[in-house]
Amino acid sequence: MKIALNAEAYREPDVYKVERQSIWATEWIMFCTTAELAKSGDYFAGEIAGFNLLLVVNPEGSIVGFHNVCPHRAGVLAWPGQGTLGNLVCKYHGWAFGWDGALKSARDFGNDEPLCAEHSELKKVRVETWGPLVFVCLSESTPPLHQSLGSLVDKASSFPIETFKYARRMTRELACNWKTYVDNYLEGYHIQLIHPSLNRSLKMSTYAVSVHDDSYCVHECEPADGSPVAGLWLFRYPNLAMNIYPDGMNVERIVPIGHNKTHVVYDYYSVDTSEANIARMVAMSNEILDEDQDMCEIVQKNLDGGIYQAGPLSPKHEMCLDWFQSKVERSHR
């Protein structure tokens, strides 16, 4: 019998500290879209598990990435969000940096003594793209993105992702550990109980989940009679979910903001980017997210409460949780 990850892993700040290094500073993590970094000077700044990052398009048209942390006294080069930057200048005391991250000038610092790299250079992060998705990686030793994605790329290619246009982002904050929400995403066992309208659109007896390449899993299900064509639901470790349909997709990221707080970020893409169509997509995922949020937050309270330690995982419905939780557990060692 497979047993779930211990409740401590979902509540202890020390576990989160370990995961920041062993997962979030190691894996390729989707960060934003190519639509937000389309031309020279465009930037996107945001946070992943306490790492403040800045991506910007340099004058040559390449996306470059840095920790959004000034080597002087930890100021930022850009406020979180998106926009355009003419150059890289710290918002705090005005130190200026080149596009390679090297210090150009330490404004009115007071002496000309040379500063070592540690005290003067921005720390770089790796950036690569897959279709419209921009990924970052904080580790030098992780294999390149396309190697890491493996057969996921082929799997998704049965849908015309390249023809979908990015339309909107929705971010929701959940009062739970990031893994509580991922666990929920990884099984369809709860659909009949908490998602009545999703349940009506699916032939639940055909619901199946499978793990591939030790890096992603797939949910498949036939549509209920009379429902529109079903899609493909992919989850890539550690936090990327892609819900793909023939005419559009929503790409969902589960981003920890602390040990007990998580952002679920949805990016909507479609062939038809009319307001009516995007509003329909948003409403659909909002309904499901409302239902999942209520359950995840009450489950988190129970994980925090100390009565539950770890329960059995269904061999029929919860093998993706076993895979995911085993990977997470290995990262704790």
Question: Does 90 interact with ligand FES (rule: CB under 6 A)?
Answer: yes
**Residue 252 contact partner, candidates Fe ion, ligand FES, none, CB within 5 to 8 A by sort of partner:** none
Which one of 3-11, 41-49, 101-109, 284-292 is the stretch in contact with Fe ion (CB under 5 A)?
284-292
Q: How far is the CB of 195 from Fe ion (least distance, A)?
A: 6
Q: Which does 75 bind (CB under 5 to 8 A by kind): Fe ion, ligand FES, none?
A: ligand FES
Is position 73 an interface residue for ligand FES (rule: CB under 6 A)?
yes
- CA-based radius of gyration for the chain: 21
- Residues contacting Fe ion: total by CB under 5 A: 1
Residues with Cβ within 8 Å of 289's Cβ and at least 6 positions away in sequence, in order, are: 172, 264, 266
Q: Distance of alpha carbon 194 from its chain centroid, rounded? A: 24
- Residue 223, binding choice from ligand FES, Fe ion, none, Cβ under 5 to 8 Å by partner class: none
Q: How far is the CB of 273 from ligand FES (least distance, A)?
A: 39
292 binds, among ligand FES, Fe ion, none (CB under 5 to 8 A by kind): Fe ion
Give yes or no for residue 115 binding ligand FES (CB under 6 A): no
Helix (H) or strand (E) holding 149: helix 145-149
Pick from 160, 168, 163, 133: which is nearest to 274 by CA?
168
**Residue 294 C-beta-side C-alpha neighbours within 13 Å:** 9
Pairing of strands 261-270, 165-174: antiparallel
Out of 72, 179, 236, 263, the only residue in the binding site for ligand FES (CB under 6 A) is: 72
Is 73 or 203 the residue whose CB approaches ligand FES more closely?
A: 73
Which CB atom, from 83 or from 196, has the smaller least distance to Fe ion?
196
* Number of Cβ atoms within 10 Å of the Cβ of 122: 25
Stretch that binds ligand FES, among 38-46, 92-100, 196-204, 236-244 (CB under 6 A): 92-100
Asked if residue 45 binds ligand FES (CB under 6 A), the reply is no
Options 70, 191, 251, 265; binder of ligand FES; rule CB under 6 A? 70
Beta strand pairing call for 96-97 and 88-89: antiparallel
**154-187 as b/e: b if 16+ CB within 10 A:** ebbeebebeebebbbebeeebebbbbbbbbbbbb
Tokens of 214: 């030790």
Q: Does 292 bind Fe ion (CB under 5 A)?
A: yes
> Which spans of this chain sit near ligand FES (rule: CB under 6 A)?
70, 72-75, 90, 92-95
Where along the sequence are the contacts to Fe ion (CB under 5 A)?
Answer: 292
